[in-house]
Amino acid sequence: MANILFIKNGLVVTAEKEFQADLLAVDGTITAIAPELEPPEGAEMIEAKGMLVIPGGVDVHTHLDLSVGQAHASDGWFFGGKAAAYGGTTTVVEHPGFGPAGCPLNYQLDLYRENAVESVIDYGLHGVFQHWNEEVKTAIPDIVGGGYPSFKVYMTYDGRLDDESFLAALKAVGDASGLTTVHAENHAIVSHLAEELKRTAPRKATSHPQSRPDYAEALAVETAIRLAEAAGDAPLYIVHLSTAGGLEAVRKARAAGRRVWAETCPQYLTLTDDCYEGNFDEALKFVMAPTPRKQKDVDAMWAGLMDGTISTVATDHCSFAWKDKKVRAWGNVFKCPGGIPGVETRLPLLYSEGVLKRGLSPSRWVDLVSTSPARLFGLEKKGRLEPGFDADIVIFNPGAEKSLTAENLHQAVDYTPFENITVRGWPEQVFIRGRKIVDGERFMGEPGQGRFIARQPFCP
Ligand SMILES: [Zn+2]
């Protein structure tokens, strides 16, 4: 028996347009989408009148399974994927953490693949560079060919690459039809400022943003763009862009026809560094890098979404529990594990704060959270509602209201940085490859239902 899904009367929103249509999917693949289709016999019928029908969200920046020292992200693949599904995200591309010193390029990928078998949603993995040598370089083409066409470089932290290695990596990845992504903060600035503040003001939460100023990002973004230029216009993707200065550099490069793309995250669209004022323990909830910035930066990020300078919205979801943050940061903000949960709240936040409050078009919303990330990261069957694509579908209720609290959400963590924001619009039903996994509050997914997606070489 074929598994047939028929979604009737919804307002279909794609990255290009909105139109009233019915949607038919057979055995997990979309086969037709048009007004007034005839439902085949035996179809599972879904009435979607008054609802938006959109492609499942694609979050290309998660850390569902991260360990840093002794701190471990609190959700893991099953609970992280479940929370993602409740929020309308059906595919993630995970950034693995660093492996043991000197490990080969495939080491973390193999390890993460083992743990990811319990995922309920589909997933891919980015490679990560933590050192650079001939062995790493020669491994790249096979790894791209194995379905991992994107790699991460850190310009700060212990696993960072220096400019020479970063340039070589950009060139090698570009030559192998891959995409280099970068965490852009200038290490000299961050470590210099942190050094001083660690001595003078470790008990002040504001020391955290003071040690990672906006110009540290802007300088690193400019450097990364120039290194990519020198590498023969190698493609470059800036993760979690947060500053007006960094955005300006991306805008200029794109205007000059350079192959540069940028991602931002809901936290840089909704929070400011006011979050570090006041109670120390409360402020630890917001310890992340980059840090939330000033209102002018928030406004710049929205402008970047509107004018196309920013191509994707991902989450950098990395949910260390608040209680762990408090224990580890006892009297010292620099010991707090950095990262926040957000995989569940991305689509609703961008709809509510963007579409309803800032005039972002519904199509642009879909493009930012699903279509463009799928295209840039080689998920060839994801991100579109078209015949031949996976039936990853979200029935989104534009009238639903929800206040964002830890209790109201499904992320396996004891807080949300978006507490006290009330959003309008929430996913009501979520399908992955034609199978319903979320129905209102009911979860119908099973561990292991998610599939590893071997992604295609970079071809935007
Ligand atoms: Zn990250």
Task: Give distance in angstroms: CA of 356 to centre of ligand 1.
Answer: 28
Q: Report the alpha-carbon distance of residue 398 to residue 351 in Å, rounded.
A: 9
Q: Before 290, cis peptide (omega within 30)? A: yes
Task: Give distance in angstroms: CA of 152 to centre of ligand 1.
Answer: 9
Task: Give distance in angstroms: CA of 386 to centre of ligand 1.
Answer: 31
Task: Give distance in angstroms: CA of 145 to centre of ligand 1.
Answer: 24
Task: Give distance in angstroms: CA of 127 to centre of ligand 1.
Answer: 13
* 460 residues of the chain, pLDDT tens digit each: 789 999 999 999 999 999 999 999 999 999 999 999 999 999 999 999 999 999 999 999 999 987 766 667 778 899 999 999 999 999 999 999 999 999 999 999 999 999 999 999 999 999 999 999 999 999 999 999 999 999 999 999 999 999 999 999 999 999 999 999 999 999 999 999 999 999 999 999 999 999 999 999 999 999 999 999 999 999 999 999 999 999 999 999 999 999 999 999 999 999 999 999 989 999 999 999 999 999 999 999 999 999 999 999 999 999 999 999 999 999 899 999 999 999 999 999 999 999 999 999 999 999 999 999 999 999 999 999 999 999 999 999 999 999 999 999 999 999 999 998 999 999 999 999 999 999 999 999 999 999 999 999 999 8
216: left (phi > 0), else alpha (psi -120 to 50), else beta? alpha
In our burial notation (b when 16+ CB lie closer than 10 A, e otherwise), range 130-167 reads bebeeebbebbbebbeebbbbbbbbbbbebbbeeebbb
Q: Which pair of tokens denotes residue 34?
A: 């048009």
Nearest partner of 14 among 435, 267, 387, 424, judged by Cα? 387
Task: Give distance in angstroms: CA of 95 to centre of ligand 1.
Answer: 7
Phi, psi of 188 (to 5 degrees): -60, -45
Task: Give distance in angstroms: CA of 157 to centre of ligand 1.
Answer: 12
Q: 222 vs 189, 245, 426, CA distance in Å?
A: 14, 9, 37
Q: Report the alpha-carbon distance of residue 135 to residue 152 in Å, rounded.
A: 17
Nearest partner of 4 among 451, 384, 391, judged by Cα? 391
DSSP string, 275-332: GGSS-HHHHHTT--SSPPB-HHHHHHHHHHHHHTS--EE---B----HHHHHHHTTT-
Q: In the Cβ-directed half-sphere of 77, how many Cα atoms lie within 13 Å?
A: 27
State in Å, rounded, how far the first CA of the chain is from the last one: 37
Q: Report the alpha-carbon distance of residue 260 to residue 44 in Å, rounded.
A: 43
Task: Give distance in angstroms: CA of 12 to centre of ligand 1.
Answer: 32
Q: 327 vs 275, 324, 408, CA distance in Å?
A: 19, 5, 25
DSSP string, 354-387: IIIHH---HHHHHIIIIIHHHHHTT-TTSS--ST
| Residue 239 neighbours by CB distance under 10 Å | 23
Task: Give distance in angstroms: CA of 371 to centre of ligand 1.
Answer: 20
User: Strand pairing of 57-62 and 89-94?
Assistant: parallel
Q: Report the alpha-carbon distance of residue 231 to residue 163 in Å, rounded.
A: 12
Task: Give distance in angstroms: CA of 316 to centre of ligand 1.
Answer: 4
Rg of the Cα trace of the chain? Answer: 21
Q: In 101-202, at which residue ranges do the beta strands (DSSP E only) sit? A: 122-125, 127-128, 150-154, 179-183
**Distance of alpha carbon 441 from its chain centroid, rounded?**
24
CB 304 within 8 A of CB 247: yes
Is residue 132 helix, strand or coil? coil
CB 263 within 8 A of CB 310: yes
Nearest partner of 265 among 372, 374, 376, 368, judged by Cα? 368
Phi, psi of 458 (to 5 degrees): -65, 125
